[in-house]
Structure 1
Amino acid sequence: MFITRIAPSPTGDFHLGTARTAYFNWLAARASGGRFLLRIDDTDLARNNEASVGVIHDCMTWLGLDHDATFRQSDRLDRYRDVAADLVTRGRAVVADNGAILMKDGQSTPWTDRISGLQAVGQAHDALARNQVLIKADGMPVYHFASVVDDIDMGVNLVIRGIDHLTNTFRHSAIYAALDAPLPEFAHLGLIMLDGRKMSKRDGAASLLGYRDAGIDPDAMLNFLLRMGWGPAKDDKSMAVIGRDRALGLFLDGGRMKNSPAAFDAAKLASYDRKYKAARRDLAAPAP
């Protein structure tokens, strides 16, 4: 049974990469009879936009990705500070002259990615983890620390995210070790690419609500997202269309996630959209 989460920041549009991450984590949780959580990472006070919180909920609703619990990191600030203070008490963190709390001699641990296999610790990884900041001088938690504390508290045991977070996992492994907590499983997906570069929030086509407002079928979008990072074990004509119910049966054991880059293909999305809309029209048509 997997407990998974999606953790968007309310700092801009909900983009395709976030939507794919949400769908994959939803599939893993639902296919295993587990739980799927929505966490709003809103500790960046300077960049938070309350309207973006609404966008996050709108996107999840449009895609039909129901979640079992929702929480905001801004409601848990005392928890992060208490955990950091306990690490100081136990000699695993120190308070700097400016009041920030830093890890003391933290060490990354090897871990196995569900896609890429064993990840050995190198000197550069240990350097990132050793004296990393946990609580900033202004009292706010660093993303890496808050994320780990949340995942431990919520029982998250599988984290599916983009491969751009791969290095972060070495930081996080040191925090898990300092907190005497087991590592969850990790799976790092290849990035979605547009014209040979990583697709980002700055790309107009990346905004999910733009597709909703253009009338794209939400199930067509999910099928499109699924195939940009996952493939069935037997990929033939019978797999041309994979709706969410079928994806639930296939996701964990009938295929595998991929760490290779996935090219954004607008024509492919349009093709899925036509197929799903045609299927809906056929279902709605009166019987002869």
Structure 2
Amino acid sequence: MTYTTRIAPSPTGDFHIGTARTAYFNWLAARASGGRFILRIDDTDLARNNDASIAVIHDCLDWLGLVPDAVYRQSDRLDLYRGIADDLIHRGLAVTADNGGVLLKGGCSAPWNDIISGHAVPGDVHHDLASGQVLIKADGMPVYHFASVVDDIDMGVNLVIRGMDHHTNTYRHAGLYKALDATLPDFAHLGLITMNKKKLSKRDAAASLLGYRDGGTDPDAMLNFLLRMGWGPRQDDKSMALIDRDRAVDLFLSAGKMKSSPAAMDLDKLASFNRKYISRKRG
């Protein structure tokens, strides 16, 4: 299987460890399968977007060496979202709300496949989430769920790797794929990154990626650290102590698996990786 993957960060603040892990795993799946890795800037929240955050996204990916094959901004694609919403209205599958927005008319979720945890079958609560979704807000901007699904279909994305916090969203998205008569991609929901047994927060000082770059962390050490927070080799022995980016491409799909269990943010482990990579590069 050749995978087209993507990462879709919002330009509203720092680029965090969880986003970096998502980017790396999607990059690995694309490179390991001879596919494409897309960067899509989710900049439809006009009140919160800022250009400095867009620069941070590019700086972080550049530092890690995760070069995308294509870059898009959702704000450049508003005509596409509106056109598809209008088509749903024309087909009787959506309606215009009193405030000028667009709502999905009825609808329900659909089964989907998670390559980590297996087949997911929606229940009544999931059908309720998918039914009557807002597609276009009163200000004319698309809702995240709608824009994301439209883009994934348009860009041929067939594998979506993201955090477990999106698991419920996937039932909403499955309903949109059904309404749009489109084939669902495969999904992979990674276990959340935790610190002190709590979900890593954007407010945690340890979460921002550029702080590590500026503090002298080796990018290959960071990639190795990210890899082991959510992926493991089938044969985990001393030969797997260090897995650089090129080796990770070889191993990611064929010799290991992603994990849905929580992953602890072990800063001592990161420091250990950093010492080893710096020592190896010094010869």
What range is the shorter-chain TM-score in? Answer: over 0.9
Pair 1:165-2:166 in alignment: yes
Q: Describe the SS at the equivalent of 2:257.
A: strand
What is aligned with 1:7? 8
Q: Kindly state the Cα deviation for residue 111 of structure 1 after the two structures are TM-superposed.
A: 1.0
Report what 1:71 is aligned to. 72
Moved over 2 A (4+): none
Post-superposition CA distance 1:202-251 (Å, at most 9, x none): 11111000000000000000000000000000011111110111101100
Deviations 1:89-135 (A, max 9, x none): 00111111111111111110011200111111111111111101000
User: Secondary structure at 1:260's aligned position in 2?
Assistant: coil
1-side partners of 2:201 and 2:68: how far apart?
Answer: 25
Aligned to 1:220: 221
Residues in 2 aligned to 1:64 and 1:97: alpha-carbon distance in whole angstroms: 47
Counterpart residue number, 1:246: 247
Q: Distance in 1 between matches of 2:50 and 2:195?
A: 26
**1:206-285 → structure 2 map (5 Å cutoff):** 206-282=207-283
Aligned residue for 2:12, secondary structure, equals coil
2:77 counterpart SS class: helix
Whether 2:143 is the aligned partner of 1:142: answer yes
Please give the alpha-carbon distance, in whole angstroms, between the structure 2 residues aligned to 1:39 and 1:121. Answer: 28
Q: How much has 1:28 moved relative to structure 2? A: 0.2
Structural mapping, 1:9-24, within 5 Å = 9-24=10-25
What CA distance in whole angstroms lies between the structure 1 residues aligned with 2:240 and 2:206? 26
Q: CA deviation at 1:54?
A: 0.2
Separation of aligned partners in 2, 1:238 and 1:275: 14
Kindly tell me the number of residue pairs found equivalent between the two proteins.
282
The match for 1:39 is 40
Q: What is aligned with 1:196?
A: 197
Q: 2:26 & 2:239 partners in 1: Cα distance?
A: 24
Report the Cα distance in structure 1 between the residues aligned to 2:39 and 2:201, rounded to whole angstroms: 21
Q: Aligned to 2:34, what secondary structure does the other structure show?
A: coil
TM-score normalised according to structure 2 size: 0.99
Deviation of 1:200 after TM superposition, in Å, equals: 2.1
CA distance in 2, matches of 1:166, 1:200: 18
Q: Does the alignment pair 1:186 with 2:178?
A: no
Q: Pairwise CA RMSD of aligned residues?
A: 0.6
TM norm structure 1:
0.97
Between the aligned partners of 2:99 and 2:275, the Cα distance in structure 1 is 59
In the alignment, the residues of structure 2 paired with residue 200 and residue 87 of structure 1 have an alpha-carbon distance, to the nearest angstrom, of 37
Whole-Å Cα distance in 2 between the matches of residues 142 and 262 of structure 1? 30
Structure 1, unaligned stretches of length 5 or more? 283-288
Displacement, 1:17? 0.2
Measure, in 2, the Cα distance between the counterparts of 1:181 and 1:119. Answer: 18
Q: Which residue of 2 aligns with 1:285?
A: none
Q: Hey, what's the Cα distance between the residues in 2 that align with 1:45 and 1:16?
A: 24
Give 1:201 shift. Answer: 1.5
Partners of 2:74 and 2:252 lie apart in 1 by 30
1:119 and 2:107 equivalent? no
> For the residues of structure 2 that align with 1:173 and 1:120, how far apart are their CA atoms?
11
Q: Counterparts of 1:147 and 1:264 in 2: how far apart (Å)?
A: 28
Structure 2 Cα separation of the partners of residues 99 and 242 of structure 1: 52
Query: Separation in 2 of the partners of 1:33 and 1:95?
Result: 42
Partner of 2:129: 128
Q: For 1:269, give the aligned amino acid.
A: L
Q: Which residue of 2 aligns with 1:83?
A: 84
Deviations 1:121-152 (A, max 9, x none): 11111111110100011111000000000001
Percentage of identical aligned residues: 72
